[in-house]
């Protein structure tokens, strides 16, 4: 029965995943070294992606306002958008001087046709010619009506103090009238802006005038995980960071430095960008259309396979999703997992995840989990007064764990 459920979950995951010809999806605020799509209301976000079929399709984007728990809100589009909630993406450029041809699509929001007027959770969908959803991305627009103070520390749970981190935070709202915080306020905590690693449904533990405090012992604990692994494919023909071998085929084949599984792994500091990625190439001037694609080969040396579990490459390069392409297969003759993912040239963070027969994703089983790991946490505060139609986002706070505190 468990194997049957596992097969069904795998099939559903394959159906729900985006078209494999669509690659390199980014939704971010403008600027260097900016990876977030949780921004103040009025900030410009840029959506970009590549279509490897390179046949000049017409794609449209659609924006929907959502509740704090990501259900469609009661607002009409005219109540949260000045303009149109659905528009054609007209900025399309073909790749130049690349082995892998592709069409590059870009759109910035707000634009002349779309100006968002309300804070909240938003779902951006890209549609094809048949109005089918090709992929979706979440983003959050917030007001500065509240300030959030956050403290991240080592877990106080004796059983997990070497493996987990915990958050305490306060919500300060000097100019808002909140009559019933337990019903009108909702919060969400994200780890490394990964919506698969979040904590919600928290109630304040202390109430003060114009302040709410959240000081739980265990409910706000996160597994620390480990620093992400990385590679750099900015050179197509020459090895760069953690690339050990290169072969040329229809596209270049890059072999990433093998990872050796060690159940007794200890923590070592390694600066990372928390699973994110950035496109870059030294073979051209504009990474958007001159960066090529390379097939990245990943290897895990392991004496035996993980029983009844799949192993996947995991990171923001595909929105932290589990897909057929990210799965690694075990080779009994060579005692290793191996697989490959087609990725645009750039610098990437990644790790490995196991998936059990029930579809549970574990990002700590292979690379370990440690309280010292530097993670970024985001606290999002939603406010829906009695009688209101939607959840406002009245404030966002960020904090990074520092083991020296």
Q: What pLDDT shows up at residue 14? A: 40
Domain check: are 138 and 151 in the same one?
no
In this predicted structure, the answer to whether residue 402 has a pLDDT above a threshold of 80 is no
| Residues 13 and 135 grouped into a single domain | yes
Residue 11 binned pLDDT confidence (cut-offs 50, 70, 90): very low
Residue in 52, 170, 63, 54 with CA at minimum distance from that of residue 113: 63
Q: Give the range among 3-7, 264-268, 298-302, 363-367 with minimum mean pLDDT.
A: 3-7
Q: Are 326 and 312 in contact (CB under 8 A)?
A: yes
- Domain containing residue 195: CATH number: 2.60.40
State residue 403's pLDDT score.
66
Q: Are residues 303 and 379 in the same domain?
A: no
Handedness of CA 105, 106, 109, 115 (dihedral sign): negative
pTM of the model: 0.92
Task: Identify the three-state secondary structure at position 262.
Answer: coil
Shared domain for 138 and 11, answered yes or no, is yes
Q: Which domain holds residue 287?
A: 229-362
Number of H helices, E strands in the chain: 4, 31
Does residue 93 belong to any structural domain of this protein? yes
Residue 31 and residue 130 in one domain: yes
Question: Do residue 167 and residue 137 come from a single domain?
Answer: no
Q: Are residues 135 and 151 in the same domain?
A: no
Same domain, yes or no: 289 and 380: no
- 281 shares a domain with 192: no
pLDDT single digits (tens) 77-88: 999 999 999 999
Are 173 and 273 members of one domain? no
Whether residue 140 contacts residue 396, with contact meaning beta carbons closer than 8 Å, is answered with: yes
Does one domain contain both 242 and 355?
yes
Number of domains composing the chain: 3
Give the DSSP H/E element, type plus range, for residue 360: none
């Amino acid at each position: 029965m468990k194997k049957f459920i596992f097969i069904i979950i795998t099939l559903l995951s394959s159906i729900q995943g985006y078209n494999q010809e669509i690659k390199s999806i980014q939704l971010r605020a403008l600027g260097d070294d900016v990876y977030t799509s949780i921004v103040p209301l009025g900030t410009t976000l840029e959506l970009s992606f590549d279509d490897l079929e390179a046949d000049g399709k017409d794609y449209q984007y659609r924006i929907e306002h959502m509740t704090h728990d990501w259900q469609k809100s009661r607002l009409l589009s005219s109540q949260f958008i000045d303009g149109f909630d659905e528009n054609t993406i007209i900025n399309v450029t073909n790749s130049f001087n690349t082995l892998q041809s592709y069409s590059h699509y870009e759109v910035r929001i707000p634009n002349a046709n779309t100006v968002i007027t309300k804070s909240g959770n938003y779902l951006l969908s890209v549609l094809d010619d048949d109005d089918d959803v090709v992929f979706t991305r979440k983003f959050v627009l917030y007001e500065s009506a509240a300030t959030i103070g956050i403290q991240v520390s080592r877990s106080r749970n004796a059983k997990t103090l070497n493996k987990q981190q915990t958050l305490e935070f306060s919500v300060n709202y000097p100019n808002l009238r909140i009559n019933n915080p337990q019903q009108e306020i909702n919060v969400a905590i994200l780890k490394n802006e990964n919506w698969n690693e979040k904590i919600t449904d928290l109630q304040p533990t202390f109430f003060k005038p114009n302040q709410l405090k959240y000081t739980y012992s265990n409910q706000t604990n996160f597994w620390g995980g480990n620093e992400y692994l990385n590679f750099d494919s900015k050179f197509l023909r020459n090895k760069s960071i953690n690339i050990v071998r290169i072969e040329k085929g229809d596209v270049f084949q890059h072999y990433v430095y093998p990872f050796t599984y060690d159940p007794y792994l200890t923590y070592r500091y390694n600066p990372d960008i928390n699973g994110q990625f950035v496109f870059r190439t030294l073979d051209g001037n504009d990474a958007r259309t001159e960066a090529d694609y390379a097939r990245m080969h990943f290897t895990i040396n392991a004496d035996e396979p993980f029983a009844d579990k799949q192993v996947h490459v995991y990171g923001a390069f595909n929105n932290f999703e589990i897909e057929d392409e990210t799965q690694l297969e075990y080779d009994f003759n060579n005692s290793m997992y191996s697989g490959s993912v087609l990725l645009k040239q750039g610098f990437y963070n990644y790790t490995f995840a196991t998936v059990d027969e029930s579809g549970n994703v574990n990002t700590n089983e292979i690379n370990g989990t440690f309280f010292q790991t530097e993670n970024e946490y985001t606290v999002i505060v939603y406010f829906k007064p009695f009688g209101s139609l939607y959840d406002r986002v009245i404030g966002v706070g960020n904090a990074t764990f520092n083991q020296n505190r």
